[in-house]
Each structure stands twice: as structure tokens, then as C-alpha cells.
Structure 1
Amino acid sequence: MVTDPTRRTLLKAALFGAAAPILPFGCSSTPNTPQSSQPSLIGCAITGRDRYSVVVADQFGQPIRQLPLPERGHGVTSNAARGHAVAFARRPGSYFMVFDYVTGEMIRLNKASPSRHYYGHGVYSNDGHLLFATEGERGTSRGIIGIYDVADGYKKIDELTDFGIGPHEVIVMPDDRLVIGVGGVHTNGREPLNLESMQPSLTFLSPRGERLEQRSLPDHRLSIRHLAHDGDNTVLCGQQYRGEPDEYPALLAMYRSGKELQPLYAEPEQWARFSHYIASIAASDEWILATSPRGNCYGIWSKQSGELVELSPLPDASGVVFNQGEFAISSGSGTVITQSQPRDKSSVFTSIQWDNHWSMIA
């Protein structure tokens, strides 16, 4: 059987032309972009067969330093006030690793207890004093947000629960509310056990764990997984479709306070390109960008109209962040795309096989 990292490597060259952009590509290659020593981006990477790392890079995606990971990583969060970052293991994950992204020193390797696992994501509180991590109970997939005290060596001090099963990503809003992408899937390892009865939701909690709001999509087979917000009050959620293989529902939805989740629009054949899975999401005032490593592509939607305006090929399209007027998109092929709006993009090649997600150091 072909392993997942091997599959990703084989797809790099073969699938680059599998999707055509809706708008002209207009891509200029800038392979000699000068490297900066200033840490700007952090993401997990595949470094070989069964070998993984977390990479600190400059604003162009060029690596500054790498730290080995004990197992494959997934999401990353950073704390600029302390110079810390945390890499979370891919679900069902057995660890999260805290490190100093300036010096490359590992600060703590936190192992999950035998009855728990990590779902691959976490986020610092806005003041940087706490770390929130998505966790699950083995055997039941009961959803938990673990709360860790940064100043006390990342000691767990509390847990939030009673919001559903299978939480994947958690983010923090500017007003300190927690938003959880509750996947709703009970699993044994990575095997789903309850696809007919799954109950995904977009759930809002107060920092004390009070459930403030919970929204669902009409199709319960759309597992809500990855999240982003636009710096204000708009939340984007990306889904994994767990229904019929020849059906292609909307995989991206937008939430504005007090309203129902609004699915974003693309034609079914365009949604088919995303292979039933949205990975990373980022948003600006005007645009929403979402990647699909399984579909080897990314799309850009108008925030105003909710319509897809560009669909571009990118082998193993992975992380995306928005900073200072530009999106930066990583890929398992080593290519990094910088794009400010549809049609306006450039690319560089890095030596890194980027994996899953990026974190921007604010």
C-alpha cells in the first residue's frame, strides 16, 4: 500500500495541471527572492519517509530553522510575546511540542494521557497567557478543550466540554470568545464509526466554557473542521464531506453574528475539484481563500457575493495565511504562492515539503 507521504510525493508533478484557473494564472516566478532572518511563518513539514519536522521560515517561506517532530504534525500556533510556538500532532495525536521559534530550543513535549488524544489544533488566548487545545476522549470521541497555563510550564489547569464530539480546530475571536469546529465524527483511530448519526456544529464558547451559540449546516454529513476569522466578526468554516462519493456539496461556509451559516457558492464540478475536503482558510476584507491538498488546488471567493472567482492548481495545496495585504499559500511541492487578489500572484520555490497548515507570527 502506498503511504500517505509517498502518495503526496508522487502527486507533486503528475497533478499540477489537473485544474485550470477560472481567471488567467498570471504567475511570475521569483526563485531568487532574498532570504530574511526574521521569523514570519511556521508550519509542519514532511522530511522523509516517517520523518517529520516543524519549520520556522521567513516571509517568503524560505526556511530559517527546523526542529524534528516525534510523529507527523498538523496545526501550529504562535505566541509573539514570548517567542513560543506549538506544533500539534495529527489526529489522533499523542503530543504537542512547545518551542522557542527564535532560538530553536524545545521547551516542552506534552504527551497525551492514555485515555486522551489531540485533534491537531490549538490556539493561544489573545493575551498569550493560556493555550487552548482540541482534545478527545478515546473510546467515545467526547470533545474537550484543554486549557494550559503558559507561565506555569504549560500545565493543564482546566477543561471545557459538553459541546459535542470530534472537535477539530479552535480559534479565538477578538472579543475572546472561543470558536470550535465540531466535526461530529466518532472515530476509532481514524476510522469513522457514526457517519449516519454525526452531528457537526460551529460552536461559540465564552472563555469560561459557557456555550453561547451553536450553528449547524442542513446536511449533517458535512463535518465542520477548519476555521478562520477575518480579524473582525466574520467566521469561515471548511468542511469534509462524509456522504456519497459522487455528490459535491458546498465545502465552505461563512458566519456573521446572529445569522445562519451561509454556504459559499461554486458549481458542483468546481466543488468536485476539492475532493470533498477543505484544509486551510484565510480571509481579508474582500476575499476568502481556501486550500485542498486532496484536490491539489485552492480557490478564492468574493466575500461580498459569496461566489468563487478563481480556482487554481497547486499540487498538495496546504497552508494559507493573510498578512499585510497578501495571502501566502504553501504546498507539499515546495512552491509558495503570494497573492493579493485574483490574478495577481507570484511564486517561489522552497526546499520544504509543507504539510497541512501555516501560522503567521503577528
Structure 2
Amino acid sequence: MQPMVTDQTRRKLLRAALFSAVVPVLPYGCALTRRTVARPALVGCAVTESNRYQAVVADSQGNALHTLPLPARGHGVAIHPAASQAVAFGRRPGMFMLVFDYMSGAPVKVVTAMSQRHFYGHGVYSLDGDYLYVTEGDRKTSQGIIGVYDVRHDYQKVAEFSGFGLGPHEVIIKPDGTLAIGVGGVHTYGRTALNADTMRPSLTYMSSQGKILEQVTLGDHHLSIRHLAHDGADTVLCGQQYRGTPDDYPALITMHRPGEEMITLKAEPESWARFNHYVASIAATDKWILATSPPGNCYGIWSKETLELVELAALPDASGVVVQNGVFQISSGAAKVVHERYPAPAETSVVNVQWDNHWSAI
């Protein structure tokens, strides 16, 4: 059994996030004037050279404008659809989420996990911004929970949705307000999987009131569904982590439309091997799908029409990806940002942030 989160731990987390200095970062030492002020465009988590953890607000090129210290390693970030608020979530098994103002860089509130709960690193706001849906788990059993937090009332927890399986990871919201949940199916102690032989992952669709609308599964139960994206319409993209035989390299990305079967993206086994059994961030345009793999130090691009892999590129610690103005922007833990305009050549720039895990676009 994992130890309970004590009140003393909660107080330490609160002090670490709310009373540490919030530092505005000026790229390349430039003076901040009305002419040079850049607007926030990207938010993510980062690691400093001294192995400390941050939430970072950046400009459209991926250079930091504000940094906020985190009490532990962060993972995903949710962006409010109307207000200038965002939430950074602790990496699984996380104990905190930090609410902050991305325009000023000021912390707003730290919410700590309940004593028998932990966070899985992701959450999403309702379309109207009134509620925050967060992937959580029971610390003893890994039973999956969607925690519902009332944004209008200081992020108080008002409900829990369950009954869909073990180990949910990412939750996203579709344009119609339906929640899509990547259910990993894994019972973990800390970060150690305990049920590799019996895991039951799924892609679960849920109403905003907690009703399970549909669940779909993959043929190989060792493919843990982790990360999600949608194309702005009906298609949900799923990135998997393979927990089966180490020498096997199955396909790691699928597409799904409600009421239909899963569709698997295509690549040769040696190409899937480059991903080292793990897909992190996913994004899509009307023609292309891009997915990253930090342990594989690479990213791939697929055609939505043919489902074929069209490009596989090396990038150290390839992490987050978003689409801005039709261009993929990919972050890296090596302080690089790739601007991918496939089929045109990609452009790489050096930035002032060692990006970690995921990106969210404002």
C-alpha cells in the first residue's frame, strides 16, 4: 500500500508552489518593452539544468515568458477556454495540480490529491470553462476516476465518475462536449505495473454527467492506451504504450470514430521499433498526423488519407506537439523546437527551455 498524503505534505506542496518566486524570462537577455512584449501562446512543463521542475508559459516560438516552480515533476497542462487560467498536473502518480494565470505568470491555487487518490497527469476544462475534469486513480487499486472540480467555486471537487476501468491517463473533450478517456488498463504501485498479463485498456467515451457512452478496445491487451488527440471533428487519435514482449514492435497509433472499429496507422516493424514501445504527444491537421516518442528520440508523420508513415525524424527527447496556423510545432528536452511543415523541409530553432512531456496551445 502506498503511503497516505499527509496534511504536512499538502502544506509543503502549497508553500512550494505559491510562495516560490515567479520569474518572467526575457529571451536572449532582451529588454521587455511595449515593442518586444510577446503574447503567451504555449504552455508546458520543463526541467531546469539543476533538475528542478517548472510550468512554463512561452511565446509562439517556444521561448519562455514566465516560469512557475513546481513541487515535483509536471506532465500535462489544461488551458481554460475563456479565462487566462491554466492548470499543470503532477506526473503519475501525482499529488498536485497548480492553477495559474498564464498572462501574468502568477500562481492562483494548488489543489492536492485526496488521501486515497493520485493524479495521472492530465485534465481538461468543460467547453464553458465551468468545470475541470481530471484523470485520477484509487491509490490501492488503480480504479479509474474522473474527478470533477468546480472552477467557479475555487476548484472544489464536486463529483467523481468511475466504472470504466483501471489507470486512466489522458482525458480530452470533443467539440460536442463528450469526454474521451485513454484508459491504460494498468494497476500500478508508484510507476511499476502489477497486472501486465490481465490489463484491459480501452478508449472510453463519457458524457459530461459521467455516463459511459461507448468503450472500444484493441486486439492486443498489452497495448495500454495513453495519449489522445482529436482532429476537431469526429476522429480521436490514440497513442499507446506497449507492455508485452520486449522484442515485439506492434503498431502504436490508432484512429477511432464513434460507432466504428479502431483503425491502425501503418509502418514497418523497424519503424515502430524506433518509438521504443511508447507514443507521447499526438496532433493532427486535415491531412497529417504527428506523434512523438521521448524514449525513442523521434517523431513520425502519417497521412490521414493512406494511414501510411511518410516521415520518421530524429529529435532528442521529442516531447510535446501542437498545431499553430497549420504548422506542427514540436518541443524537445534538448531545448529545441521543430517547426514541421511537411512536405516542406522542417526548421529547427534553439530555445531557452528544456521542455518536458506535453505542450498545450493557448
Q: One-letter code of the match for 2:93? A: P
Alpha-carbon distance in 2 for matches of 1:196, 1:348: 43
**Segments of 4+ in structure 1 off by > 4 A?**
none
- Per-residue CA deviation, residues 321-358 of structure 1 (Å, 9 max, x unaligned), is 01211111000001101112234321111011100000
- Corresponding residue for residue 287 of structure 1: 288
Q: Cα distance, 1:139 vs. partner?
A: 0.9
Structure 1 residue 138 displacement after superposition: 0.6
8 Å contact 2:81–2:127 — kept in the other structure? no
**2:182 aligned with 1:181, yes or no?**
yes
Query: 1:257: Cα distance to partner?
Result: 2.5
CA distance in 2 between counterparts of 1:76 and 1:90 reads 11
Q: Spell out the pairing of 1:1-362 with structure 2 (5 A cutoff).
A: 37-361=38-362
Give ranges in structure 2 of 5+ residues lacking alignment.
Answer: 1-27, 29-34
> 1:163 is paired with a residue of what secondary structure?
strand
Equivalent pair of 1:36/1:59 in contact (CA under 8 Å): no
Per chain length, whose mean CA-contact separation is higher, i.e. which structure has more relative contact order (CA < 8 Å, sep 6+)? 1
TM-score, normalising length: structure 2: 0.89
- 1:35 touches 1:58 (CA, 8 Å); kept in 2? no
Q: What CA distance in whole angstroms lies between the structure 2 residues aligned with 1:170 and 1:353? A: 25
Cα distance in 2, alignment partners of residues 41 and 110 from structure 1: 22
**Superposed displacement of residue 105, structure 1:** 1.1
CA distance, structure 1, for counterparts of residue 82 and residue 192 of structure 2: 39
Q: Is the 2:186–2:224 contact (alpha carbons within 8 Å) kept by the matching residues of 1?
A: yes
State the shift of 1:79 in Å. 1.1
Q: For residue 96 of structure 2, what is the amino acid of its counterpart?
A: Y
Per-residue deviation, residues 80-101 of structure 1 (Å, max 9, x unmatched): 4110000000000010000000
Q: Distance in 2 between matches of 1:357 and 1:313?
A: 18
The separation in 2 between residues aligned to 1:342 and 1:117, in whole angstroms, is 42
TM-superposed CA distance for 1:312, in Å, is 0.3
Q: CA deviation at 1:104?
A: 1.1
Measure the CA separation in 2 of the matches of 1:236 and 1:120: 18
Whether the 8 Å CA contact 1:56–1:64 is kept in 2: the answer is yes
Partner of 1:17: none
CA deviation vs aligned residue, 1:28-57 (integer Å, no higher than 9, x gap): xxx9xx975100000100013441001100
CA distance in 1, matches of 2:327, 2:340: 6
8 Å CA contact retained: 1:131, 1:148: yes
Distance 1:307 1:176 in 2: 30
Overall identity of the aligned pairs, in %: 59
Contact 1:310 1:342 in 2 (8 A): no
Q: TM-score, normalised by structure 1?
A: 0.89
- The question of whether the paired residues in 1 share the 8 Å contact of 2:322 and 2:328 is answered with yes
CA 1:158–1:313 in structure 2 vs 1: closer, same or farther (change >3 Å)?
Answer: same
Q: Counterpart of 1:277 in structure 2: which amino acid?
A: Y
Cα RMSD after superposing both structures = 1.6
Tell me, what secondary structure is at the counterpart of 1:146?
A: strand
Structure 1 residue 259 displacement after superposition: 1.1
Mean CA deviation greater in 81-90 or 335-344: 335-344
Cα distance in 1 for partners of 2:201, 2:50 equals 34
Residues 1-33 of structure 1: per-residue CA shift (max 9 Å, x gap): xxxxxxxxxxxxxxxxxxxxxxxxxxxxxx9xx
Q: Between Structure 1 and Structure 2, how many residues are aligned?
A: 331
Worse overlay, 41-50 or 128-137: 41-50
Distance of 1:47 and 1:358 partners within structure 2: 16
CA contact (8 A) 1:76 1:358 kept: yes
Given that 2:81 and 2:128 are in contact with CA atoms closer than 8 Å, whether structure 1 keeps it comes out as no
Counterpart amino acid of 1:336? Answer: V
Distance 2:127 2:328 in 1: 22
Q: 1:124 offset after TM fit, Å?
A: 0.7
Structure 2 residue identity aligned to 1:129: D
SS at match of 1:164: strand
In the aligned structure 2, how far is the partner of 1:138 from the partner of 1:86? 22
